[in-house]
Amino acid sequence: MSKKLFDFISSFGMMLVGVFLLFANTVSFSPTGRQWLKLPVSNPRQLIGGDAIAENLPVLRPTVPLQKNKNNFVGVLTAQSVIVVDNKTEAVLFEKNSDAIRPLASVTKLMSALVLLDLPIQWSTTTEIFETDDVGSSHIINAGEKFTADDLWHVGLIGSSNSAINALVRISGLTPTQFAARMNRKARDLQLTSAHFVEATGLDADNIASVRDVAKLLKIALQKDKILQTVQIGEYYIHPLGKDKPRRVWSTDWLLTKWVPSNFTVSQIAGKTGFINESGYNFAVHLSDNNGHAVRVIVFGASTNENRFIYEY
């Protein structure tokens, strides 16, 4: 290992490993004698766009390995596929089943957002939510209510609302089939060879890709200012037209909401979560430290979203 890579891992790898463990089902460590602090178990959760939201978060605080390598990483990472890529050099720092093709769930919405930005949508336009839009979502937005396209964009990416994404596809002027074809065309243009899409929300398990290709997709998506600025919002208020009160929408990214404690600031976190039964818990995120070192972490197929492991330093 070169000195440069060792220095990078020493300064940044600790938090990186902590992020790995956020999306692992269980992590086993040799006994150290340290006391673990277990916070109260979360209240019953709701599903928004297939992504889990909880009011409180159970947190365990185990000892974390000091370096990211085979000798020191003694935890058992139970996510099905993982990749960590240096954002500047594109060096793969860690991988597990990185070419396995798995359901994307709501990570699909990164590609949907890219295609929407290619279309001549007027973001100040207002539209009514149809019954056909309202599938697999919460009551953040309801059939018969009216919203601006910009509000739908925000609730679609922040709260992962399927209804919002379906409504945006409809007002784009394309049919769902035509929109999916655009998604597949863009995947080919971006050389995401494992990616295939059948609809825009991620509810269908036939939306698929490898974590390696999603790492590429994430980088490209975050180069669009409208996407980057939106996925860095932890809390958003959507206002149905004609209604007295706005509604609060929490991000499905628990790092942003601080339901998972971390030393990252909002400007250092940008990503998208996803969950359907077929996929398990997915997370695609760009993280950077105070020195500007950045990595992209893609985790697919973690089996729980409740157990979180945080390292304090």
pLDDT tens string 222-280: 999 999 999 999 999 999 998 888 999 999 998 898 888 788 888 999 999 999 999 99
pLDDT level of residue 50 (50, 70, 90 thresholds) = low
What pLDDT, on a 0 to 100 scale, did the predictor assign at position 139? 65
Q: Of residues 218 and 244, which shows the higher confidence score?
A: 218
Residue 273: beta bridge partners?
Answer: 283
Q: Which comes out higher in pLDDT, residue 69 or 138? A: 138
Structure confidence at residue 288 (pLDDT): 93
Residue 135 contacts residue 203 (beta carbons within 8 Å)? yes
pLDDT at 67: 38
Q: Say which amino acid occupies 301.
A: G
> Residue range 161-171: average pLDDT?
96
Work out the mean pLDDT of the chain and round it to a whole number: 80
Catalytic residue among 68, 96, 109, 186: 109
Please determine, for residue 12, whether its predicted confidence score (pLDDT) is greater than 60: no
| Rounded-to-integer distance, Cα 291 and Cα 35, Å | 32
User: Among this protein's residues, is 106 annotated catalytic?
Assistant: yes
So what's the pLDDT on residue 65?
A: 33
Looking at residue 48, what is its pLDDT?
45
Per-residue pLDDT, 24: 42
Identify whether the C-beta of residue 62 lies closer than 8 Å to the C-beta of residue 27.
Answer: yes
Question: In this predicted structure, what is the pLDDT of residue 268?
Answer: 92
Phi, psi of 81 (to 5 degrees): -140, 140
Q: Residue 223, Cα to own-chain centre: how many angstroms?
A: 16
- The more confidently predicted of residues 67 and 19 is 19
Cβ atoms 278, 30 nearer than 8 A:
no
Per the model's pLDDT, the better-predicted residue between 275 and 67 turns out to be: 275
This prediction's pTM: 0.77
In the predicted model, is pLDDT for residue 61 greater than 90?
no
Q: Is 245 a catalytic residue?
A: no
Query: Band of the pLDDT at 76, cuts 50, 70, 90?
Result: low
- Note the pLDDT of residue 134: 80
DSSP sequence for the chain: --HHHHHHIIIIIHHHHHHHHHT-S-------SPPPP-PPPPPPPEEETTEEE-SS--EE-----SSSSTTT--S----SEEEEEETTT--EEEEESTT--EE-GGGGHHHHHHHHHHS---TT-EEEPPTTT--S--SSS-TT-EEEHHHHHHHHHTS--HHHHHHHHHHTT--HHHHHHHHHHHHHHTT-TT-B-SSSSS-STT-EE-HHHHHHHHHHHHTSHHHHHHHT-SEEEE--TT-SS-EEEE-S-HHHHTSS--S--GGGEEEEEEEETTTEEEEEEEEE-TTS-EEEEEEEEES-SS-EE----
Q: Which of 30-44, 79-93, 110-124, 245-259 has the lowest mean pLDDT?
A: 30-44
| CB-CB contact of 196 with 207 (8 Å) | yes
For the chain, which domains are there? 3-309 (3.40.710.10)
Question: Is residue 4 a known part of a binding site?
Answer: no
Q: Is 63 left (phi over 0), alpha (psi -120 to 50) or beta?
A: beta
For residue 209, what pLDDT is reported? 99
Q: Does the pLDDT value for residue 203 go beyond 70?
A: yes
Does the pLDDT value for residue 60 go beyond 80? no
- Predicted local distance difference test score (pLDDT) of residue 75: 53
Contact assessment for residue 215 and residue 83, using Cβ atoms and an 8 Å cutoff:
yes
Known catalytic membership, residue 267: no
Q: Which of 68, 81, 96, 106 is catalytic?
A: 106
| Pair of tokens at residue 203 | 């509810």
Query: What residues does 148 pair with on adjacent strands?
Result: 126
Q: Which of 81, 160, 163, 251 is catalytic?
A: 160
34 or 148, greater pLDDT: 148
Question: What long-range pairs does 176-182 form, CB within 8 A, spacing at least 24?
Answer: 176/200, 179/112, 179/115, 182/115, 182/118
